[in-house]
Amino acid sequence: KFDGLLDMTKDYEKMFKTEQQKAKDPIKACFMSLVRNEDLYSILPTIRKIEDRFNKNYHYSYVFFNDIAFTEEFKAKTKRIINPESEVHFVTLPKEMWSYPDFIDLNEAAKTREKMKDIIYGSSESYRHMCRFNSKWFYQHPIMDQFDYYWRIEPDTAIYCDMDYDLFEYMNDNKLVYGFSISLHEYESTIPNLWPATKNFVQQRPHYLNNNNFLKFISEDEGNLFNQCHFWSNFEVVNLNFYRSLQYQLYVEYLDKTGIFFYERAGDAPVHSIAAALFLPKESIKYFDSIAYMHPPYTHCPIDDKVYMKYRCDCKQPDDFTFQGYSCGNQYYDALELEKPDGWESFLN
Ligand code: GDP
Ligand code: MN
């Protein structure tokens, strides 16, 4: 099953298209959302901002996934606000991408939901299918095969600055694999076994660790403990070869077999983030300061006036989350030894 997959320790350069390859076969990318019919009026403003601030000049595709069929209304109203030059795909998921695998004990899973009922989404069955889909399935759906990069979008989110360059080309040409806008700490109680399981996986396959990895971002003690820092995956722009790689697929398969999506409440965000931090070179993981973004309750707004003015932003700078205590912006800047923008200290709390 894992034969022929891209091994990122050996074939890292193959994740990106060369100028010659691009000339024949331009970068293809999509906006992707797993979304419910009842989210229609929450996804429309999200799409509108994406179109206005970026995609009206580029016409990248959209892929909407749903565990049930999309309504005609959902399809008509979303298509109406997307530039007609963009392809739009509406996909109903095959059963296996939204159901219990046979190795899961349904009684155990039900007990877990009862035990975790005081944790956010702890009692939800659909939330777990959502996290598992976003961890191990979305990139395996055949509709995604045609794309090199994807940008995940969600209902009730917003972007606040213009993008005057082709983000996907930029990422490819600069060998960037994983782009994020907000990072933060996870609720430890949703993933008690994620780090122990990860350590087991890495012990079995130490050669898969990238020797220029970003462990420093996710651990303060060289990997003994996970500091809960992760990229908030409701926004992420990613080279799909990362998810298609041997490393990622073996890792997520391993995690899945531990039952972590049903016997705990593992989110896709820490799964993506830990994999990125361990298997990618740290320079390929990029914080996009100029991509202002909001997913309730957090906003990322560039506090650097030069950036704010250049990209005609309209977010509220005093709300910026990047350097607040619950964020992991500080860990990111420190781990890469980057200079923080003027005034960052005033956000510490
Ligand atoms: P949160 O961001 O963790 O609070 O979770 P959300 O409620 O925003 O869910 C994350 C994404 O998954 C959103 O795009 C939702 O529309 C989508 N989603 C969540 N549950 C379901 C579901 O049962 N069916 C479908 N089709 N999408 C879902
Ligand atoms: Mn959300």
Tokens for 210, please give them.
């990238």
In a domain, 126, yes or no: yes
Domain count, the chain: 1
User: Closest by alpha carbon to 115, among 195, 189, 197?
Assistant: 189
Inside any domain, residue 339: no
Q: Cα(248)–Cα(44) distance, rounded to whole angstroms?
A: 32
Q: Domain range for residue 196? A: 28-287
Task: Examine the residue annotation and report whether 236 is marked as an active-site residue of this protein.
Answer: yes
Q: Label residue 307 left, alpha or beta by phi (over 0 means left) and psi (-120 to 50 means alpha).
A: alpha
Specify the pTM. Answer: 0.98
Q: pLDDT digits over 94-117, tens only?
A: 999 999 999 999 999 999 999 999
Compute, in angstroms, the gap from residue 234 CA to the centroid of ligand 2. 6
Please tell me the distance from the alpha carbon of residue 141 to that of residue 143, in angstroms, as a whole number. 6
Model pLDDT, residue 1: 84
**pLDDT (tens digit per residue) in 120-177:** 999 999 999 999 999 999 999 999 999 999 999 999 999 999 999 999 999 999 999 9
The one catalytic residue among 51, 186, 236, 264: 236
Q: Average pLDDT, stretch 248-276? A: 98
CATH of the domain at 271: 3.90.550.10
Q: Is residue 46 part of a domain?
A: yes
Please report whether residue 295 resides in a domain.
no
Residue 20 placed within a domain? no
Q: Which residues surround ligand 2, an ion (CB under 5 A)?
A: 154, 234
Does residue 299 lie within any of the structural domains?
no
Picking from 254, 132, 260, 270, the residue whose alpha carbon sits closest to that of residue 203 is 254
Residue 95 placed within a domain: yes
pLDDT at 320: 98
Looking at all shown ligands, the one closest to residue 93's CA atom is 1
Residue 161 lies in a domain: yes
Please report the atom of ligand 1 found closest to the CA of residue 153.
14
In one letter, which amino acid is 299? T
- Give ligand 1 pocket residues (Cβ under 6 A): 33-36, 39, 66-67, 126, 130, 154-155, 234
> What's the CA gap between 75 and 38, in Å, rounded?
12
pLDDT digits (tens, 9 = 90+) for 179-189: 999 999 999 99
Distances (CA, A) of 278 to 18, 161, 222: 25, 31, 12
Is the per-residue pLDDT at 349 higher than 80? no
Nearest ligand 1 atom to the CA of 156 is 8
